[in-house]
Structure 1
Amino acid sequence: MNKLSPQLRTVNVTRYVTPLREGGSLPAIAEADDNFLYVLKFRGAGQGPKALIAELIGGEIARKLGLKIPELVFVNLDEAFGRTEADEEIQDLLKFSVGLNLALHYLSGAITFDPTVTTVDEKLASQIVWLDALLTNVDRTARNTNMLIWHQELWLIDHGAALYFHHSMDNWEEQAIRPFVQIKDHVLLKRAAELDNIDADFKAILTTELIEAIVAIIPDDWLTDRSFETADDQRKVYTRFLNTRIANSAIFVKEAQNARQALI
């Protein structure tokens, strides 16, 4: 394995604890055979494996940039697991999610980030805004921040809505160099005063080799787009999209700076 590649553990679900009825994907808190609790994201949910791919890529890029994100693990779900589930909706979700799924370590006692209560420093805000502009993450707004406060530190969760280009990959080259106009709704945009410095720092970290290593860990059976002949062909598009976007980061940085100026 490439030495740059993240080392994700694989665990097996032993107990379905409770659904998290937030949004349409119906994640759940589940216990695994390592005796830890996880927030389990199902491959059988609405957006299918592509949401897991976005979660995996977004989370591991964030980690490599030094941002705090709960540990990501691959999670095996046995076909017999949902047979005793009384809720038909959950039973169907479990049935369609047999095999390899993704989960984040459950941060017990964490509270949802509230921008009216907690002020994020300008450097950290700029780092998170830059990350979300790179990933085209539409889901970090005041309405749904997808950030937690745990042990007095800010943790990022939920990147499943990022990389929306992969829902229509035919024109990925064009999408890779587009500004990210939705950044205007980012909950931390007003605090992101150091985007130029962060741009230089993060581009130095996110080498083409590192992006290739992160994309390489996507499981083959999540790469189901039939417009590609092989899973590796689909991986190459993710790698090329991200590397193109990083090389042209001035485009999305400028969009974020302009949007910020409109707020201050």
Structure 2
Amino acid sequence: MHKIDIRTVDVVQYISPLREGGSMPGIVKANDYFLYIIKFRGAGQGKKALIAEFLGGELARAIGLKVPELVFMNLDDSFSKMEPDEEVQDLLKFSVGLNLGLHFLSSAITYDPLVSVAPAMTCSKIVILDSLISNIDRTTKNPNLLMWQKELWIIDNGAAFYFHHNWNNWKQHLTRSFPMIKDHVLLEKATELDKAAKEIQSELNEETIKNIINVIPEEWLTDEHDPINPDEKRAAYLEYMMAKLRLIDVLVKEAQDAR
């Protein structure tokens, strides 16, 4: 069974912003002396992007894909006071509390569909996973994949699970397929979709998914503007994933047709 053991660290140094990302993540150092890419709760899509990032990353790990270690990161209010850039200052101010960090892969390069080499099985698993979690942001324009030590690593799942931006009609998404898979950066190399689907079905069961969902911090799920509470949201994420797994044959066929 896939064990979920997420460490919590404290940010001790804010090093620099990464301006190529829409949400402006940053490079930080933590009290364990490692460098991380921090995803801020105060950025555009807020805590929901952190939830999507976390769920997408840990589901990918559960099916044997490479994902940098994810950690919960405490950010205190001292950093915004020392930051000269106003835009970054606001971001730091609105992000005090628990954020999400990805272990920084030093000297990793962005996946390039024309040059980078990746196994067909890995590509197929990523395509199916992104169909399952409705990840609209893994395109040639923005692959959100890294090559590190000659292996393909998944980063940035923050645009997945987009149903959670409107809790009033989330159930309408349960039976939908994922036509946007046609734009997936790995679709061309995903030649083992049937085999990948069988592996995913053997690795992702209700208990594994539930264990991942249960680790989402309560404060990320708390929003007074939402019509449902944190427990109901956890149940909704589980129901969504189980519904998508039941649809896996439809999603595979859709991806094959798009190829």
Q: Would the TM-score normalized by the shorter structure come out above 0.5?
A: yes
**1: distance between equivalents of 2:184 and 2:170?**
23
Q: Is the 8 A contact 2:167 2:227 kept in 1?
A: no
Q: Distance in 2 between matches of 1:67 and 1:165?
A: 24
1:41 to 30, 39, 62: 39
Aligned equivalents of 1:124, 1:82: Cα separation in 2: 40
> 3-state SS of the aligned residue for 1:149?
strand
The aligned counterpart of 1:119 is 117
Corresponding residue SS for 1:169? coil
- Give the residue type in structure 1 aligned to 2:238: T
- Equivalence map 1:114-193=2 (5 Å): 114-193=112-191
Q: Do 1:5 and 1:216's aligned partners in 2 also have CA atoms closer than 8 Å?
A: no
**By how many angstroms is 1:98 displaced?**
0.5
Further displaced range: 25-34 or 114-123? 114-123
CA distance in 1, matches of 2:140, 2:214: 33
1:231 Cα deviation from its structure 2 partner: 1.1
- Amino acid in structure 2 at the alignment position of 1:210: T
Q: Is the 8 A contact 2:60 2:67 kept in 1?
A: yes
**Do structure 1's residue 232 and structure 2's residue 231 form an aligned pair?**
yes
What CA RMSD, in Å, does the superposition of the two structures yield over aligned residues? 1.3
CA separation in 2, counterparts of 1:5 and 1:168?
A: 30
Q: Cα distance, 1:80 vs. partner?
A: 2.0
Structure 1 residue 224 displacement after superposition: 2.8
1:8 to 6, 10, 14: 6
Is the CA contact 1:137–1:162 (under 8 Å) kept in the aligned structure 2? Answer: yes
- Name 1:220's counterpart in structure 2: 218
> How do residues 189-204 of structure 1 correspond to structure 2 at under 5 angstroms?
189-204=187-202
Paired position in structure 2 for 1:246: 245
How far residue 252 of structure 1 moved from its aligned partner, in angstroms, is 1.4
Q: Paired residue for 1:29?
A: 27
Match of 2:49 in 1: 51
Shift in Å at residue 102 of structure 1?
Answer: 0.1
Q: Is the 8 A contact 1:178 1:252 kept in 2?
A: no
**Which segment is superposed worse, 139-148 or 164-173?**
164-173
- In structure 2, how many angstroms separate the alpha carbons of the residues matched to 1:161 and 1:227? 19
Letter matched to residue 153 of structure 1: E
Q: TM-score, normalised by structure 1?
A: 0.94
In 2, Cα distance between equivalents of 1:257 and 1:169: 31
Q: 1:41-89: per-residue Cα shift (whole Å, max 9, x none)?
A: 0000000000000000000000011100100000000122211110111
The 8 Å contact of residues 72 and 101 in structure 2, kept in 1 or not, is answered as yes
| C-alpha deviation, 1:171, in angstroms | 2.8
Contact 2:67 2:154 in 1 (8 A): yes
Which consecutive aligned stretches of 4+ in structure 1 deviate over 6 angstroms post-superposition? none
Percent same amino acid among aligned pairs?
A: 53
**Aligned partner of 1:204: which letter?**
S
CA distance in 1, matches of 2:241, 2:170: 10
Which letter does structure 2 place at the counterpart of 1:163?
F
Partner AA of 2:239 in structure 1 = R
Gaps in structure 2 of 5+ consecutive residues: none
Are the counterparts in 1 of residues 168 and 227 from structure 2 also a CA contact under 8 Å? no
Cα deviation code 1:109-135 (max 9, x no counterpart)? 111111111232221111110111111
Structure-2 separation of matches of 1:171 and 1:8: 31
In the alignment, structure 1 segments of 5+ residues that lack a partner are none
Q: What's the counterpart of residue 207 of structure 1?
A: 205
* TM-score, normalization by structure 2: 0.96
Query: Which residue does 1:69 correspond to in 2?
Result: 67
**1:18·1:30 contact (CA, 8 Å) conserved in 2?**
yes
Deviation at 1:228, TM superposition (A): 4.0
Superposed displacement of residue 187, structure 1: 0.9
C-alpha offsets along residues 192-221 of structure 1, whole Å, 9 cap, x if unaligned? 121111111101111011111100011111
Inter-partner Cα distance in structure 2 for 1:80 and 1:125: 42
